[in-house]
């Protein structure tokens, strides 16, 4: 039974009626009675309450008239062996106390300790950071916190670069890992159908200022999945202006360069995307991505930045910023 200790606490000033309601709601058959400082005063079980009523206590008398003040309790860090010794007999419930004798957990025959799973720790600046993100408008893939997190994570693990992603639908695989061979110089490449078994979509963190009457080209190097899956497909291009797609990519197909070009008589602000609808956990492999202005002359890198600052996977496609 996983009833939290908070539902098993009643003040010593509560009535027997209120204690019975708490016993009924919890379904455990026992309660921890606490004083006005939250310290353990005793234990009240179904049997304790029944015996108190048989002795003549009224249902609106305080529960302290029914509780067992000489109950057994243990420290919250008591070992399973110590708890087992106490429960090896008629006792079925043991309050577990902190250093101030306040009940913070409980043990029974089928439950020795509470084992929190994914318990959040929100005792710092979390609210202030969330408010800053909302206030500044950076609530998705950018903002100063993403860069700070990547830098701190890389420093923690002793690597020159780290990349934050939103989920596991896109995998970065080190060349040679899982039998996958990459062709770029960064030592890794991208499996678009990642660990969740759902097809992934990568979108650039940065937006790009595309000039009117210029032609832009996005080139990706694509291979078939290298782990024995089914035929795959991939789409790539500009989020607003559209893109290209390629289907029927056979497992093990060698890397080929695929491109998409776009031009307009209007200036545009765009993001890049690469995606697949594959969902068998082994997708096409992407490496060596290039985005350039074909007609801009020597300055052919689209504003505002070179590819080294792209995110959500594009940063790692054979480029310098990829975590090695």
Split at pLDDT 50, 70, 90, the class of 247 is: very high
pLDDT in tens, 287-319: 989 999 999 877 666 765 433 333 333 433 333
Q: What is the pLDDT of residue 211?
A: 92
263 forms beta bridges with: 215
Report the first-to-last Cα separation within the chain, whole angstroms: 46
CB 52 within 8 A of CB 16: yes
pLDDT in tens, 88-116: 888 888 999 999 999 999 988 777 776 66
Q: What is the mean pLDDT of residues 217-227?
A: 91
- Per-residue burial over 179-191, b if 16 or more Cβ lie within 10 Å, else e, is ebebebebebbbb
CB 71 within 8 A of CB 43: yes
DSSP E strands in the chain: the ranges are 9-11, 30-34, 40-45, 74-75, 93-97, 103-108, 171-174, 188-191, 201-203, 208-210, 215-223, 232-238, 242-249, 256-263, 268-270, 272-275, 285-293
Q: What is the pLDDT of residue 306?
A: 37
Q: Among the listed ranges 4-13, 71-80, 169-178, which one has the minimum average pLDDT value?
A: 169-178
The pair of three-digit structure tokens given for residue 4, joined into one six-digit string: 């939290």
With 50 as the cut, is the pLDDT of residue 130 above it?
A: yes
Q: What is the pLDDT of residue 219?
A: 94
Q: What is the mean pLDDT of residues 42-46?
A: 93
Split at pLDDT 50, 70, 90, the class of 118 is: low
Cβ contacts of 286 within 8 Å, gap of 6 or more: 189, 190, 192, 220, 221, 222, 234, 274, 317
Ranked by mean pLDDT, the top range of 72-76, 116-120, 138-142 is 72-76
Query: Whole-angstrom Cα distance, residue 179 to residue 316?
Result: 19
With 60 as the cut, is the pLDDT of residue 11 above it?
A: yes
The pair of three-digit structure tokens given for residue 25, joined into one six-digit string: 């709601």
Q: What is the mean pLDDT of residues 55-68?
A: 94
3-state secondary structure (DSSP) of residue 3: coil
How many other C-beta atoms are found inside a 10 Å radius of the C-beta of residue 230?
13
- Could you tell me which residue, 40 or 115, shows the higher pLDDT? 40
3-state secondary structure (DSSP) of residue 143: coil
With 90 as the cut, is the pLDDT of residue 121 above it?
A: no
pTM comes to 0.52
Give 98: exposed, middle or buried? Use CB within 10 Å, 0-12, 13-18, 19+: middle
Cβ contacts of 16 within 8 Å, gap of 6 or more: 49, 52, 53, 57, 58, 59, 60, 61, 62, 63, 65, 66
HSE toward the beta carbon, residue 87, CA cutoff 13 A:
20
Q: What is the pLDDT of residue 322?
A: 29
């Amino acid at each position: 039974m996983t009833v939290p200790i908070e539902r098993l606490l009643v003040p010593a000033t509560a009535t027997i009626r209120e204690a019975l309601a708490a016993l009924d709601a919890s379904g455990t058959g026992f309660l921890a009675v606490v004083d006005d400082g939250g310290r353990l005063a005793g234990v009240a079980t179904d049997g304790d309450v029944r015996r108190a009523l048989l002795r003549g206590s009224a249902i609106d008398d305080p529960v302290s008239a029914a509780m067992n003040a000489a109950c057994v309790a243990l420290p919250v860090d008591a070992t399973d062996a110590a708890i087992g010794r106490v429960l090896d007999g008629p006792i079925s419930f043991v309050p577990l106390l902190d250093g101030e004798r306040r009940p913070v957990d409980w043990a029974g025959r089928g439950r020795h300790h509470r084992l929190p799973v994914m318990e959040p720790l929100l005792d710092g600046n979390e609210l202030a950071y969330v408010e800053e993100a909302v206030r500044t408008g950076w609530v998705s893939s950018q903002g100063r916190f993403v860069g700070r997190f990547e830098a701190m994570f890389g420093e923690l693990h002793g690597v020159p670069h780290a990349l934050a992603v939103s989920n596991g639908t896109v995998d970065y695989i080190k060349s040679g890992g899982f039998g996958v061979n990459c062709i770029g110089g960064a030592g890794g490449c991208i499996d678009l159908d990642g660990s969740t078994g759902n097809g992934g979509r990568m979108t650039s963190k940065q937006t790009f200022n595309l000039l009117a009457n210029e032609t832009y080209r996005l080139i990706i190097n694509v291979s078939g999945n290298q782990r024995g899956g089914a035929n795959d497909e991939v789409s790539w291009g500009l989020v607003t202006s559209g893109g290209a797609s390629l289907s029927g990519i056979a497992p093990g197909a060698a890397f080929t360069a695929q491109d998409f070009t776009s031009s307009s008589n209007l200036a545009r602000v765009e993001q890049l995307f690469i995606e697949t609808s594959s969902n068998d956990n082994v997708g096409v492999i992407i490496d060596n991505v290039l985005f350039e202005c074909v007609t801009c002359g020597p300055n052919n890198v689209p504003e505002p930045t070179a590819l080294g600052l792209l995110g959500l996977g594009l940063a790692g496609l054979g480029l310098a910023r990829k975590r090695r």
